[in-house]
Amino acid sequence: MVRSQFSAPLRGNHFTFEPASRLIHPSRRVSIFQTNTRVATYLVASRSSAMPAAKPIRLPPVKSLRVRNARKKVENPCINVMNSVLACWASAGYNTAGCAALENALRTCMDAPLPAKAPTSSINYHLNRMYDRVIPNATRRK
């Protein structure tokens, strides 16, 4: 016994099943997989909302190869001490006797040598060097 294909159009608040041969023109027969996909789309759309599921967004092609590090600004270690000195001056009314310890801490912090720089990545150099091989006949941005 051969079963016919069924699809489920939405009518009111319930489903009525009709043979797929009535819904699809005879010259446009589709496979069982395609019919089942359409039925699943009807079911999902009727349960969640009136709109079908959104298609995934296709990203545009990459115009240029460039990898940028997230260069974080190195915070000066003396900023916290300087903020405390300014807060002390604001609360004490610029009294030098009450804020002398914080002022000395700020002087020692400012006299200390700067920390060494971290080495940077060379990925941008190598991408620039191989640019012509990856994207032939492309103009480089400057």
pLDDT tens figures, 13-46:
444 455 544 554 455 554 454 555 555 555 554 5
Q: What is the pLDDT of residue 136?
A: 67
Number of domains in the chain: 2
Q: Bigger pLDDT: 17 or 96?
A: 96
pLDDT band at 129 (very low <50, low <70, confident <90, very high): confident
Domain housing 25: 6-48
Contact 120, 102 (CB under 8 A): no
Q: Bigger pLDDT: 15 or 121?
A: 121
pLDDT band at 4 (very low <50, low <70, confident <90, very high): very low
Closest CA to 5 of 17, 13, 14: 17
Q: Would the pLDDT of 48 be above 80?
A: no
Residue 107 has which token pair? 């002087």
Whether the predicted model's global pTM rises above the 0.85 cut? no
Q: Would the pLDDT of 124 be above 80?
A: no
Is residue 140 in a domain? no
Residue 2 has which token pair? 């051969």
Residue 11, SS3 per DSSP: strand
Is residue 62 in a domain? no
Average pLDDT over residues 121-134: 75
Q: Which helix (H) or strand (E) holds 62?
A: none
Q: Bigger pLDDT: 46 or 133?
A: 133
Is residue 99 in a domain? yes
Is residue 15 in a domain? yes
Is residue 128 in a domain? no
Is residue 101 in a domain? yes
Q: Would the pLDDT of 57 be above 60?
A: yes
Q: Would the pLDDT of 108 be above 90?
A: yes
pLDDT band at 3 (very low <50, low <70, confident <90, very high): very low
Give the Cα separation of 81 and 124 in Å (integer): 37
CA atoms within 13 A on the CB side of 39: 19
Is residue 12 in a domain? yes
Is residue 14 in a domain? yes
